[in-house]
Amino acid sequence: VSFLLFLPLLQEVASSPTSPWTDRERKILLSLSPLPPVPASPGNEVADDPVAAALGRALFFDPGLSGDDSMSCATCHDPDKGWGDGLARAKGRKELAFHTPSVVGAAFNRWQFWDGRKDSLWSQALEPIEHPDEMAGSRTGVLHHIRRTPPLLELWGATFGPFPDLTDPDRFPESACPAPVDPASPFEDLSGVSPDSRHRAWAEMKAGDQAVVDANYAKVGKAIGAFERLLVSGLSPFDHWVEGLEDDRESPVDGFGAIQWRGARLFIGKAGCLQCHFGPGFTDGQFHNVGMAVPAGADFDNGRPLGIQRVRVDRFNARGKHSARPGVRENPHLLYLAFDEHTYGAYKTPTLRNLGRTAPFGHDGRFATLMEVLDFYEDLPGLPPIGHREETLLPLELSTSEKEDLVAFLLSLTSEPIAKEFGHPSRKP
Amino acid sequence: VGLLLLGACSGNPGARILFPDGGPPLNDYFSIEVVVPGPEPDAVRVDADMPAHKHGMVSKPVLTPLGDGRWQVDGMMLHMPGDWEVWVEVDRGEDTRRTVFQVRLEPFSE
């Protein structure tokens, strides 16, 4: 194909909010629903194993994974709060810089965390367990806890086979983990000089024993990942409405009437949301600087650049030795990472599904309501403290009633809640 | 598969790009083949930009020479809907020529 004819796009413009959908608008709306099956997780050999998911569920709700038995994954990913925490910023041992995203639908994410420093659900699960400001546990501590908890040990055996012998306390300390990787010097082992006793204990372990622990700690993440892959929204009012559109019998459904209809037209048109929020996940899964940048009170964080550096050196990334499929073909995302000035101050585009249960909003939770989010895009106040704002981001020019329509549409993307009993062996699906 | 709606070429009409069937996908990796006729160039670069956004791709493509003036380019990704320029830049001595292919991606599949 050397020359392709220049074919100007004929954009059909609807004349009024009540006019029929154009062919192009209809195609866009159909592209937004329904959610497809969760994508494969090639690095996780037990991703779709129901027994692994049962183990993962048990681990997810188990405070024994934390350093002082006080916190579980569910402390911040509370099923009663949309599998988030309802706070502006996450709170572990202290308040953190970023908002806790819901784990519902996280299996669709190409990258995990706001800066994308993890490239799989299973490897994401491993970081908060050891983070000193979050669960403050350790990989040897988690494995010892499993070893001493018969129900977990039984599920482990059914999933992965015999549990390793970690009973020698001289070889496998009660609490040991490596110091966090320094992206600036990723090959320097800081464990021996860290003031954290967990890190010093790790530094004193033999390499072979560290490898055994790492291999089994990866399995902890894979089991949790298998459970989290099941946390997928059902149909929202918008999805039900699109079903009718698909069958050419468009009509209001419960939770999607005239106001949401008008909001949908704004969403796919004048408001420009589709630039980043497209597809059934309502996100491109990419990273953008919309001008909020570094969260107030945060340690230095430049957004995506640090995320890129961290994921490249992560021992649990998809190309590492703990990945079930470390090949290039399965993991192009690590091979072609671009690192340029546009990545500074950029954070991940969040999904817009289930916004009715995931307030506050923004990567640092600075917006209490969706109207506040729209007000931000209307004013675009100030300049980002790092990097530059997306060039196409222009002040949103919507009337108050249009913003109300848009908010109503966004809320129509909220599905029925996933109860905390979900996935429990005693509950029928 | 995203939709390739338009394409145009400027600069060095000799360079060609073989896109995947159906055009480049939206927000997913794809490969292309670049054909540069004539004498062996000193260097070939391939990338893509969104001029209106003043940014390029979120991926950095890798070129593999196939011989006879052909290059395999892996790791392309057009991550946003809108107007893109996929370009091939060829150096021969002091001369640098850029061939630009215009691509418009819709936010839906056909």
Per residue in A234-282, pLDDT (tens digit) is 999 999 999 999 887 888 899 999 999 999 999 999 999 999 999 999 9
CB of B107 less than 8 A from some CB of A? yes
For tokens 């289930």, name the residue. Answer: A354
Lowest mean pLDDT among A167-171, A381-385, A402-406: A381-385
ipTM exceeding 0.90, yes/no:
no
Q: Categorize the per-residue pLDDT at A323 as very low, low, confident or very high, splitting at 50, 70 and 90.
A: very high
Cross-chain residue pair A2–B108, CB shorter than 8 Å: no
Residues of chain A found within 8 Å of residue B107, distances taken between Cβ atoms: 28, 31, 274, 278-279
Q: Categorize the per-residue pLDDT at B8 as very low, low, confident or very high, splitting at 50, 70 and 90.
A: very low
Contacts of A392 (CB under 8 A, 6+ apart): A272, A275, B52, B53
Cross-chain residue pair B6–A392, CB shorter than 8 Å: no
Please tell me whether residue B63 adopts helix, strand or coil conformation.
Answer: strand
- From first CA to last CA, the distance across chain B in angstroms is 7
Convert A261-297 to b/e letters by CB count within 10 Å (16 or more is b). Answer: bbbbbbbbbebbbbbbbbbbbbbbbbbbbbbbbbbee
Contacts of A228 (CB under 8 A, 6+ apart): A56, A60, A103, A106, A107, A121, A125
Q: Nearest-CA neighbor of B9 among A364, A245, A354, B19?
A: B19
Q: Is the pTM of this model over 0.90?
A: yes
3-class DSSP string for A305-320: HHHHHHHHHCCCCCCC
Report pLDDT digits (tens) over B11-59.
555 789 999 998 999 999 999 999 999 999 999 999 999 998 888 999 9
Tokens of A412: 């129509």
Helix H or strand E segment including A353:
none
Residues of chain A found within 8 Å of residue B60, distances taken between Cβ atoms: 336-339
Please tell me what DSSP assigns to residue A275.
G
Q: Do residues B27 and B48 make contact, with C-beta atoms less than 8 angstroms apart? A: no
Residues of chain A found within 8 Å of residue B79, distances taken between Cβ atoms: 284, 286
Report pLDDT digits (tens) over A341-372.
888 999 999 999 999 999 999 999 999 999 99
Q: Do residues B58 and B46 make contact, with C-beta atoms less than 8 angstroms apart? A: no
Residues of chain B found within 8 Å of residue A343, distances taken between Cβ atoms: 58
Q: Do residues A292 and A362 make contact, with C-beta atoms less than 8 angstroms apart? A: yes
Question: Residue A202: pLDDT above 60?
Answer: yes
By C-alpha distance, the chain B residue nearest A269 is: B107
Angle in degrees, 0-180, between the axes of helices A139-147 and A150-160, rounded to the nearest 10: 100
Question: What does the pLDDT read at residue A61?
Answer: 97
Report pLDDT digits (tens) over A143-201.
999 999 999 999 999 999 999 999 999 999 999 999 877 665 655 566 777 778 999 99
How far B61 CA sits from the closest chain A CA (Å)? 6
Which residues make beta-bridge pairs with B30? B76
Question: What does the pLDDT read at residue A422?
Answer: 84
